[in-house]
Amino acid sequence: MGQFRFEALKEVLNRKPVETEREDAFISDYFGKLVFDKYKMQKYLSKEAYSAVTEAIANGTTIDRKMADQVAQGIKSWAMENGATHYTHWFQPLTDSTAEKHDAFIEHNGSGGVIEAFSGKLLAQQEPDASSFPSGGIRQTFEARGYTAWDPSSPAFISESTLTIPTIFVALTGEALDYKTPLLRTLQSVNKAATGVCQLFDKKVTSVQVNLGWEQEFFLIDEAFFMSRPDLTLTGRTLMGHASPKDQQLGDHYFSSIPTRANYFMQDVENEAYKLGIPIKTRHNEVAPNQFEFAALYEEANLANDHNQLLMDIMQKISKKHKFRVLFHEKPFSGINGSGKHNNWSMLTDTGVNVYKPGKNPKSNLQFLTFVVNTLQAVYDGQDLLRASIITASNALRLGASEAPPSILSVFLGSEVSKMLDLMEKSVVDRKMTPDEKTALKLNIGRIPEIILDNTDRNRTSPFAFTGNRFEFRAVGSSANCASALIVLNTLVANQLNKFKAEVDKLVEKGTKKDEAIFQVLKSLIIKSKPIRFNGDGYSDEWVKEAAKRGLTNIGSVPGALSVYSRPEIIKMFEKLGVLNKSELHGRVEVEYEKFILKVQIEARVLGDLAINHIVPTAVEYQSRLLDNVKKLKEVFSDEEFAELAGSRLDLIKDVGRHISFIKAKGKELIEARKKANVIEDAIERARAYDETIRPYLEEIRYHIDKLELIVDNEIWPLAKYRELLFIR
Ligand code: ADP
Ligand code: MG
């Protein structure tokens, strides 16, 4: 027993860093080398085909069959020249990863051989036999057809000799079965709503795009350790393990020099990413030992999200070469920081204005304030929905733990912007404003420093923070598809912008001047949304109390948080904006409940196995050894001496015995609880049972295992310990 652990330790101690295969060039020379981008399109496509694709990208127009054929020919030539033999439609089902099925370019040539071929039809649409993906009942299995359709707004690329075409994944009836479809729909909704609002300030604006810059946190664990711990292998987190005496207290990992093996790994990932056009900008050590982060330059949201998904995939693959495993789990180790994926989010007009960046004059600043205030209101109204969009079995373990945003939504604005909103609230009067009052207010609005980016106070404890030229949604989990959060955020903001515009228009129709109408509606929103504004420490206990006083919600349980999706007004909002219809929404929430149940179920099974088959036998063995020792002591010593020498040992034997009995008893109860939960028909009720009656066992059993870890001889303990997992590299 314990052999696996010691073999792993030996292996890890003998590891040599695997050097990076560096490109002998500047990044800019090979960036996007494997992407069928605009430049390559110009080279490989006819003029008409090129403009058909660029039109489709810019305006969402469809590409007809003839053009699609031409595009397919061009892509195929380029792909084959660059070593591709296969093609695939790449999509993002409602699982935790992307999906692909590769087909060779070959067709019969009519004389017994084959030729390479690729048609517009194959480029545009495919029907993978994808009946095993979760759909939440949208697709009945007897009609399990789903198809993938080309998303021209995200360019095709070559990955491991395969031409990879980003696609949406929908049911035969057109219902979305993936993350990308509704994300694209929300980008349209935001575009429409934000353009309408921008036109209040600048008629030249004709479209608005959403930008996303993600920061991806992760842990690196040596492959041998990863394989030696069934909990890591099967659930992505440690289900047991006593805290290491030293972990992150000294803050000496954060931003420290990157360990060589990790650095080589990260450089390898970057090389690959650059070729695929993923603009990774930053790499650094995070707070917890063996925790790291990549951040990319921001891009258009759909592209940025594809890039994040692709990067996660590349990281998993390249980690194996370096004898690492990447943990994207939000809370792989209890007691130390978990991993998030900050979503930096903003909007850009086609006139080049970031609406979240203070401008140069009162007018552009008023536009800036308009977007900030509407975002505040959207987050206030949508706090429950935003929480639901990021909560999962794994992220729930991170939220509310000491280092992560709690399950309370709030917005940090910083003092500059807060002051501005307070001023506006005070200066806008209910009667018609005098010209002087208006001028004074506009002057003040004009005073927001153009670049607050550098002088905004940062608040790293806020789940939703304004950071000078964007909002940063920090509660998103590291393993999540960003789209899950963005779909909700975009929908809420588009909905709020529409409402705002309608209110302003109504006042104007009634004869109020436009600027004054804007002032008035903003004032009312500033007042209404005030409870969501919080600049203090979001991790503190006081905030939990204060938030409750303000009437903000705080829901830590996954089924509890997910239940908001069934509120009629929320279904209506998704329908009105054309993002998800009732059955799509229902299907996706069903999938979330199922995922939660299955993940907890797997954890419970793994814990049961580890507890009964690994930990208990080890503890029993140790206990027998102690018993032997006691017996021998008794043989050798007098009763008096024996009492003195064996006293503490007898206590230890009893302690070990109690822990063993507890683990066995609770293990049995856990199985019974599962049996009971599993027969519950209704998925929501079943999820609730898993949350309330099964999850607590995991913690209870773990507590006793961790105690045993402290008692039992280190030499026979079967699982790599926290201090080893986190510090030996
Ligand atoms: P920090 O850790 O201080 O938040 P990072 O440099 O790690 O900052 O990450 C900042 C992220 O914000 C990057 O992904 C960057 O591209 C992104 N970002 C910067 N400006 C914008 C913007 N206008 N819109 C969206 N994302 C942005
Ligand atoms: Mg950040």
Secondary structure in 3-state letters for 547-598: HHHHCCCCCCCHHHHHHHHHCHHHHHHHHHCCCCCHHHHHHHHHHHHHHHHH
pLDDT above 70 covers a percentage of the chain that reads: 96
The CA-CA-CA angle for residues 271, 275, 277, to 5°, reads: 115
Residues 575 and 651 in one domain: no
Q: Does residue 365 share a domain with residue 242?
A: yes
Confidence grade of residue 546 (pLDDT, cut at 50, 70, 90): very high
Ligand 2 center to 287 CA (angstroms): 13
213 lines ligand 1 (CB under 6 A): yes
Complex prediction ipTM? 0.95
Is the domain of 194 the same as that of 160?
no
CATH number for 269: 3.30.590.10
Q: Is the CB of 215 under 6 A from ligand 1?
A: yes
Q: How many CB atoms lie within 10 A of CB 655?
A: 14
Residues within 5 Å of ion ligand 2 by Cβ? 342
> Once rounded to an integer, what is the mean pLDDT over residues 415-420?
89
User: Using 50, 70 and 90 to split pLDDT, how confident is the model at 354?
Assistant: very high
Rounded Cα–Cα distance for residues 424 and 426 (Å): 5
> Which ligand is nearest the CA of 298, by number?
1
- Domain count within the chain: 3
Question: How far, in Å, CA of 215 to CA of 208, rounded?
Answer: 23
- For ligand 1, is residue 297 a contact (CB within 6 Å)? yes
Q: Which of 210, 339, 344 to mutate to test ligand 1, by most ligand atoms within 8 A of the CB atom? A: 344
What contacts 186, CB < 8 A, 6 or more positions away?
486, 487, 490, 491, 494, 577, 579
CA 305 – CA 376 distance, rounded (Å): 24
Q: Are residues 432 and 517 in the same domain?
A: yes
Contacts of 151 (CB under 8 A, 6+ apart): 166, 167, 168, 180, 184, 302
The pLDDT assigned to 401 comes to: 64
Residues 492, 378: contact at Cβ < 8 Å? yes
Instruction: Flag whether 7 is in a domain.
Output: no
From CA 452, how far away is CA 360, in angstroms rounded?
12
439, 519: one domain: yes
> What pLDDT, in 10s, does the model give residues 111-130?
999 999 999 999 998 887 66
Rounded distance, CA 589 to CA 29, Å? 44
Sheet strands (E) in 161-245: 162-171, 208-222
Token reading at 6: 């010691």
Query: Same structural domain for residues 206 and 328?
Result: yes
**Ligand 2 center to 457 CA (angstroms):** 13
- Element containing residue 104 per DSSP (H, E): strand 102-104
Whether 127 and 212 share a structural domain: no
Q: How far is the CA of 442 from the centre of ligand 2 (A)?
A: 32
Which ligand 1 atom sits closest to the C-alpha of 214?
A: 14
What pLDDT score was predicted for residue 361?
A: 83
Per the structure, the complete domain to which residue 663 belongs is given by 595-727
- Asked, for residue 24, whether it belongs to a domain, the answer is no
- Per-residue model confidence (pLDDT) at position 140: 62
458 and 607 share a domain? no
pLDDT tens digits for 494-542? 999 999 999 999 999 999 999 999 999 999 999 999 999 999 888 888 9
Nearest listed ligand to the Cα of residue 470: 1
Q: Say yes or no: CB of residue 354 within 6 Å of ligand 1.
A: yes
d(CA 366, CA 368): 5
Q: How far is the CA of 64 from the centre of ligand 2 (A)?
A: 42
Q: Give tens-digit pLDDT for 218-258.
A: 999 999 999 999 999 999 999 999 988 888 877 777 778 88
- Which residues fall within 8 angstroms of residue 5, CB to CB, at 6 or more apart? 228, 717, 718, 719, 720
User: Which of 514, 548, 580 is the last residue before a domain boundary?
Assistant: 580
Does any ligand 1 atom lie closer than 6 A to the CB of residue 487?
Answer: no
Domain match, 405 and 305 both: yes
Helix axes of 639-678 and 582-609: crossing angle, nearest 10 degrees: 160
Is 413 strand, coil or helix? Answer: coil
pLDDT at 456 over 60: no
Taking the complete model, does pTM exceed 0.90, yes or no?
A: yes
**298/378 same-domain check:** yes
pLDDT of residue 405: 65
d(CA 67, CA 46): 9
CATH code of 84's domain: 3.10.20.70
What is the distance between the terminal CA atoms of the chain, rounded to a whole angstrom? 23
Percentage of residues in the chain having pLDDT higher than 90: 78
Tokens of 70: 């031409």
* Residue ID of nearest Cα to ligand 1 atom 13: 213
Q: Which residue has the higher pLDDT, 58 or 26?
A: 26
458 and 410, same structural domain? Answer: yes
CA-based diameter of the chain, in Å?
105
- In CATH, what number is assigned to the domain containing residue 599? 1.20.120.1560
- What single letter denotes the amino acid at residue 415? S
Evaluate if residue 139 carries a pLDDT over 70: no
282 lines ligand 1 (CB under 6 A): yes
Identify the H or E element spanning 412.
strand 411-412
Among 34-38, 555-559, 674-678, the minimum mean pLDDT is found in: 555-559
Where is the domain boundary, 178, 209, 236? Answer: 178
- Whether 280 maps to a domain, the answer reads yes
* Domain contains 122: yes
Residue 14 belongs to a domain? no
For 214-239, give one letter per residue: b (16+ CB within 10 A) or e. Answer: bbbbbbbbbbbbbbbbbbbeebbbbb
Atom number, ligand 1, closest to the C-alpha of residue 213: 14
- Give the atom of ligand 1 at the shortest distance from the alpha carbon of 348: 23
Q: Is residue 474 part of a domain?
A: yes
Structure tokens at 537: 């420490």
pLDDT tens digits, one per residue of 1-13: 468 899 999 999 9
From the CA of 286, the nearest ligand is 1
What is the C-alpha separation between 72 and 78, in angstroms, rounded? Answer: 10
If DSSP states are collapsed to H, E and C, what string results for 133-172? CCCCCCCCHHHCCEEEEECCCCCCEEECCEEEEEEEEEEC
Q: For residue 598, count other CB atoms closer than 10 A to its CB.
A: 13
CB 341 within 8 A of CB 398: no
Average pLDDT over residues 597-616: 96
Q: Is the CB of 286 under 6 A from ligand 1?
A: no
Cα of 298 from ligand 1 centre, angstroms:
7
Average pLDDT on 193-212 reads: 97
Band the pLDDT of 144: cuts 50, 70, 90.
low
What is the per-residue pLDDT for 143? 60
Q: Check residue 452 and give its pLDDT.
A: 58
Residue 202 has φ and ψ, to the nearest 5°, of -150, 110
Long-range Cβ pairs for the range 618-622 (8 Å, 24+): 618/1, 618/2, 618/708, 618/712, 618/716, 618/717, 618/718, 619/656, 619/659, 619/660, 619/708, 619/712, 620/660, 621/1, 621/716, 622/656, 622/711, 622/712, 622/713, 622/716
Tell me how far the alpha carbon of residue 107 lies from the centroid of ligand 2, in angstroms: 49
Residue 368 tokens, joined: 């800036």
- Residue 141, pLDDT > 70, answer no
Residues 168 and 199 in one domain: no
Q: Ligand 1, residue 345: give the atom nearest the CA.
A: 25
Average pLDDT over the chain reads 92
- The candidate with the shortest Cα–Cα distance to 149, out of 172, 168, 128, is 168
Among all bound ligands, the one having the nearest atom to the CA of 458 is: 1
Q: What is the mean pLDDT of residues 463-485?
A: 95
- From 157, 178, 199, the end of a domain falls on 178
Angle made by CA atoms 588, 593, 598, in degrees to the nearest 5: 120
Inside any domain, residue 22: no
- Whether 333 is covered by a domain: the verdict is yes
Least Cα distance to 283 among 341, 216, 365, 329 occurs for: 216
Q: What is the dihedral of CA 534, 537, 539, 544, to 10 degrees?
A: -50
Pair of tokens at residue 355? 């609406």
